Chain A
Amino acid sequence: MTQTDRGAGGADALSSPFTPGMRDNPEELGRYVDGIVGRPLPLVDGEPGHDEPPTPEQEFAAEWRNAAYNCFSSGHKFCREVCPVMQVTRNESWTPTAFHANVVAMEKGELSVADVAADYVNCTQCGACELRCPNTLFTGDFYRFRTRTVDVVKAVRALAVDQGVHQEGWRTWNARTDERTHEPVLGDVPVSQEHVRDWSAGLDLPIGGETVLFVDCEAAFYRTSVPRAVAQILRLAGYEFGLMGEQWCCGGPAAEMGYVDQAQRFARHNLDDWRSTGTTRVLVLDPHDYISFTEDYPRYFGDEYAGIEVVLVVELFAQLIREGRLTPSVPVERTITYHDPCRLNKRKGIWKEPREILRAIPGLTFNDVDRVTQWSYCSGGGGGLPVEKPELTAAISERRMEKAAGLDVDTLVSACPWSERPLSAAGEGQDIDVVDIHELLAVSLGIEVGGTTDGGAS
């Protein structure tokens, strides 16, 4: 940077580089504070006298323009190679950059949401792009302003639904979820309110209380071995908990697919239900629920949410092991690797505790892959992708399992029930079992878990 003799002899104070706010800035700079960057662009580019009202897309862009320009004007594109969809499709219209650029184009009146709604299907909302973006990783916490790809994707999907532009698979999925109060996951147990606690048959768990265990739809109806493992481990540790009075889907998937009103209605039901049973702590075994309860619900309810504590079961189990309240002692002779669920590792920064649990299990040979390398790994099971584009989910899962196969393991351990179905399907081709971390811990604690890992198909 060229240094000049600033402020000397009454020269223009703006002629040299400076940092606003520094105490040694020339006094004259104080006069320029509001004028030096230029005025904001008008919402609608137009000739003088142009007074047409903004389109819904332009109103939308007014809210998201800063987030979109944050990407568009820097264009680093580190996001591309960590994006699971980009890795398997190389489709430039489905990159995080394109998702932001479209918002800029909407602001300019060049695009309507109907033109691009289908492109926004191609995202698992894993969060890799926004974390790897230098605008997040290197400056996001400094400015309190980071890349918001996941939020932008959710918002565009919501705008599309609002404009009557639907993806048929998502429309059907959410209509059925609305009817049944749970997601229509396929398995032997019929998805309905009266069967939501079937997974706990024979465990004699109480209802309500200060602490309740929230079980996501996939685990409650399809992979019932997971909640059975969790409930029995909690009981072994002497940790008191109950089940919800009337649990509905968390609403997160509806929010991810753009059906915001439905998501908020479900969230309201669950919060009211917790209140009705005097619940103040919610235990969560599914990373997707953890996102809903720690990001969506606080946005919906604000201060009204202050009385609820949300605890991730994986973190709790690691703590109980540390405190000596759980001691895995039955050797599990498997060679494993661990799949960092995107919503824990990338979106929440939770990656130590699962490894702590796995290292406490005797008999395991653990071929670990570090959390940063796994920013570019994904099962493809999130963000509604398997509903609309199952072939993409399968391709992403296969890619993930190829990485595992390169480690000579017989088992891939995950901590996310939603990842386990696509990964299991991909694992068949590689002869690799997919096991949930809660199931594995239960086995090492001598618990006979029960339930099914495949919706009762086998």
Chain B
Amino acid sequence: MSAEPDGRRIGYRYAEQHQPPDPVRASDVAVTTFEHVFEVDSRLMERWVLQQQFPNWDSLRIMNSRHDHLAWMHRHFADRVVTGSELLAEVEREDRP
């Protein structure tokens, strides 16, 4: 099967899901695997809270969803400040016959 425009091959293949790209150290306590995916150094998750089974599609889904969500938030962010008195004046204007 050929690739999607973003380089992703369509379709699910078990063998491709359980090995992310080789990690590159990003800080003392974090690594990066896929582009834009940062992960905690897994050695810090061996004692108290163990990591979950995490297929690659799930890491990518979360990362992409986060970006989409943040873009959505920016689109819906308030771009001006409205005072309470302005709002009350607006309500009064609407109520006036």
Contacts and interface: CB of A to CB of B under 8 A. Distances in A.
B29 A309 contact: no
B4 A142 contact: no
Nearest to B11: A311
A143 B10 contact: no
Contact of A372 (B2, B39, B40, B68): B68
Given A21-B44, A349-B60, A306 B28 contact: no
Number of chain B interface residues as a range: 35 or more
Contact of B72 (A33, A34, A348, A370): A370
B44 A20 contact: yes
Contacts of B60: 349
A348 B38 CA distance: 20
Interface in B11-28: 11-15, 17, 28
Contact of A137 (B2, B30, B49, B66): B66
A145 B29 contact: no
B66 A298 contact: no
A233 interface: no
Contacts of A145: 45, 49, 51-52
B11 A310 contact: yes
Given A308-B14, A372-B72, A349 B64 contact: yes
B10 A319 contact: yes
Given A20-B29, A148-B52, A141 B39 contact: yes
A107 to B, nearest CB: 15
A140 B1 CA distance: 30
Given A21-B43, A348-B57, 18 more contacts: A22-B28, A22-B29, A23-B28, A34-B47, A131-B65, A141-B39, A142-B39, A143-B45, A143-B51, A144-B45, A144-B51, A144-B54, A293-B12, A294-B12, A309-B11, A311-B1, A315-B11, A349-B61
Interface of A: 19-23, 33-34, 37, 40, 66, 131, 136-138, 140-146, 148, 281, 293-294, 298, 303, 305-306, 308-312, 315-316, 319, 322-323, 348-349, 370-373
Among all A-B residue pairs, the 9 with the closest Cβ atoms = A349-B61, A372-B72, A144-B51, A141-B62, A310-B12, A311-B11, A315-B10, A144-B54, A294-B12
